[in-house]
Amino acid sequence: MSRISKETIDKIMDTANIEEVIGEFVSLKKSGQNYKGFSPFTEERNPSFFVSPAKGIFKCFSSNKGGSVVTFLMEHEHYTYPEALRFLAKKYGIEIEEKEQSPEEKERMDTREALFHVNTFAQKYFHEQLLETDEGKSIGLSYFKERDYNKEIIEKFGLGYSPESWDALTEHALANGYKLDYLTKTGLTIERDDKKRYDRFRARVMFPIYNLSGRVVGFGGRILTKEENKPKYVNSPESEIYNKSAVLYGLNLAKSEIIRQDKCYLVEGYTDVISMYKAGFENVVSSSGTALTPDQIRLIKRFTKNITILYDGDEAGIMASFRGINLILEEGMNVRVIIFPPDEDPDSYVRSHRTAETKDFLAQEKDFIRFKTSLLLDDAQGDPVKKAGLIREIVETISLIPDSIYRSVYIKECSSLLDTPEQILVNELNKIIRQKFKKNQPEPEQYTPDHEPESVPQALDVDFTNSEFQEREIVRLLMQYGKNEITVEKKTEEEDGSILTESVTISIGKYLVTAIRTDDLTFENAVYQMIFDEYHKILSQLGEVDEKEFINHEMEQLRLTCVDLLSSPYELSENWEKNKIYVTTEDQQLKHLVDSSLLSFKIKKIEVNMASIQQKLKVLESDEDMEFLLRELQGLKNISRKFNQDLSRIITH
């Protein structure tokens, strides 16, 4: 597919009326300059969903979702980015200009379409073989009937049968005008070096694999006889249209129910999906027997953040799946597990139990981290070395969770489950977080317990970096008022040594960036630092910064933070002005606000440095080093005193 040009994207974003688009999905009421309504993402009694036409953003305070009109369509309608743009282009009658394709790109697109057509032809062929031939009926159809698959299910999943003949499909496709090159590229036909060719799938029941839009990208074939030299399952190889790591079996049928239930069941095989779907549990998908990949996880995340993994009770298989579950946790998803009784799997269980019984069984799902802790604890009973390794592994798993609140809850619970002081787990968690930060990864917020845990006989790491509020305020000013101008005094030293003072007009963005970079100050919060760096980069290149660059940023954490900084659930009532009561607004005193925020930021940085020096002084043994640190501490105190005096004058002015 060709790429939508940047010019078209800009035109769509400039034309789209955010309150009009969102108003088609959410009932909005005017509230001052903004609109508000009930959240479309959560159940709530009081409206916490706001739309700002002036800023071109929405913010849902109950779910913490926010962004541009494109982000809303991606969140609410589960569109991809291109799909959301095309929806808006169609709504506003904008012609989509796409990047001109080269001859090579056009040829590749033609090839892709040809491969889709070949797979569709093969799926129909296998389906006809299943329903209309003696071989298909006696072998394939009888197998499906044993599993209680009715005609409706067979049709819905496009099930089929490949005959035992060596080249039945190949010859039939060639006779119908399909090129051998495309048959081999899809993997349906295998051609040997001596030019002899044969069908990949022979004497197998066939499970077509569909992409999200319902097109056949590949096949899985199961043999029904027990032959030592033949694998139970044969799958299509990867091709231009089939990327195994980016496809989930059954998702094309399950996506609507996943959205409705806000949950996705993940099973192992094709028959698990089909049997559960037939039993009424339609929000089910499979990774086709392979380890879950990041692309597959993000595919599920488009529709829900809640995933329940169904295991067949094989402990070795459960342990082997932990790495894949770690990837799910890293995506900020909620993971639960179901363990089936011995010798049972989802397919056999739903076929031998009534739907109500299966529903009750699935309701017994367990939180993954609690389950993993209990499972490993059973294995480590009586072995201190194993238990130590278990504690590290559990904390490592908790550290993968992006949300600091969830991390804190799990630390508390696992402290009780593992009979281990909470502070030990906190120390290990913060150690892991610091190690990740050193590998140039954004550092998640460290967890500090809300009460004093049981003390432990070891030195504790003390974190003095507590400048979150001051850092947030600087970045908020950049986002909200960066383009606004203020008048400041510029001092220049003349050749004769005198100081010339003059008033100059400068944008708040440039003023703050210059001041912070001149003093070589940095942000402890990794996201704030990224925003500041990005702001400085754009400012250097273009001379001014449009907040849309951040509202539409590709990095989700950065984008959500900027939307949050630009949003507020509060605004002055119009009644103040109606009653001729005039309240000074923030934008009417920007100079004071900017100067006070900048000074507060600098003072906090000095306080952090002073606290660090005082901590070093407690453990220092060398008098010479102590004298140096005391001089440095006194210098910082003098600077801090001056800054506080300046801040006091600004506040009382």
Contact assessment for residue 140 and residue 161, using Cβ atoms and an 8 Å cutoff: yes
Q: What is the pLDDT of residue 433?
A: 79
Sign of the CA dihedral 466, 469, 474, 476? Answer: positive
**What is d(CA 182, CA 498) in angstroms, rounded to the nearest whole number?**
82
Q: 188: closest CA among 139, 241, 144? A: 241
Q: 3: closest CA among 84, 87, 73, 96? A: 96
Which stretches of 95-179 are DSSP H helices? 103-132, 134-135, 142-146, 151-157, 168-175
The CA angle 470-473-478, to the nearest 5 degrees, is 135
Q: What is the pLDDT of residue 629?
A: 62
* Identity of the residue numbered 402: P
Alpha-carbon Rg for the chain in angstroms: 31
- Residues composing the chain: 653
Contact assessment for residue 449 and residue 430, using Cβ atoms and an 8 Å cutoff: no
Q: 248: closest CA among 181, 297, 320? A: 297
Long-range Cβ contacts of 222-225 (<8 Å, 24+ apart): 222/270, 224/139, 224/140, 224/143
User: Tell me, which fold does domain 6-91 have in CATH?
Assistant: DNA Primase; Chain A (3.90.580)
Contact assessment for residue 491 and residue 498, using Cβ atoms and an 8 Å cutoff: no
Contact assessment for residue 333 and residue 326, using Cβ atoms and an 8 Å cutoff: no
The β-bridge relationship of strands 264-267 and 306-311 is parallel
In sequence order, the 6+-apart residues with CB closer than 8 A to the CB of 302 are: 78, 80
What does the domain layout of the chain look like in residue ranges?
Answer: 6-91, 101-242, 371-438, 468-568+582-652
Q: Indicate the burial class of 40 (C-beta count within 10 angstroms; 0-12, 13-18, 19 or more).
A: middle
**What is d(CA 207, CA 147) in angstroms, rounded to the nearest whole number?**
14
Name the token pair of 181. 């090159």
In sequence order, the 6+-apart residues with CB closer than 8 A to the CB of 396 are: 432
Per-block mean pLDDT, blocks of 10 residues, the chain (653 long): 75 89 86 87 85 88 89 85 88 80 61 90 97 96 95 97 96 94 96 91 97 89 86 93 93 87 93 97 90 87 88 76 86 92 91 95 93 86 86 90 88 90 89 72 48 40 58 90 84 71 86 86 86 90 83 80 77 54 62 84 77 69 61 66 56 48
Q: What is the pLDDT of residue 460?
A: 32
Give domain 101-242's CATH superfamily. DNA primase, catalytic core, N-terminal domain (3.90.980.10)
Phi/psi region, residue 314 (left: phi>0; alpha: psi -120 to 50; beta: rest), is beta
**What is d(CA 75, CA 40) in angstroms, rounded to the nearest whole number?**
10
How far from chain centre, in Å, is Cα 21? Answer: 24
DSSP 41: S
Q: What is the pLDDT of residue 458?
A: 36
Q: What is the pLDDT of residue 454?
A: 43
Contact assessment for residue 216 and residue 209, using Cβ atoms and an 8 Å cutoff: yes
Beta strands in 216-275 (DSSP E): 216-223, 233-235, 264-267
**What is d(CA 328, CA 340) in angstroms, rounded to the nearest whole number?**
21
Q: What is the pLDDT of residue 520?
A: 80
Contact assessment for residue 446 and residue 509, using Cβ atoms and an 8 Å cutoff: no
Q: Output the 3-class SS for 441-453.
A: CCCCCCCCCCCCC
Q: What is the pLDDT of residue 338?
A: 94
Helix (H, G, I), strand (E, B) or coil at 615: helix
Tell me the CA end-to-end span of the chain in Å, nearest whole number. Answer: 61
* Identity of the residue numbered 603: I
* Identity of the residue numbered 322: F
DSSP 36: E
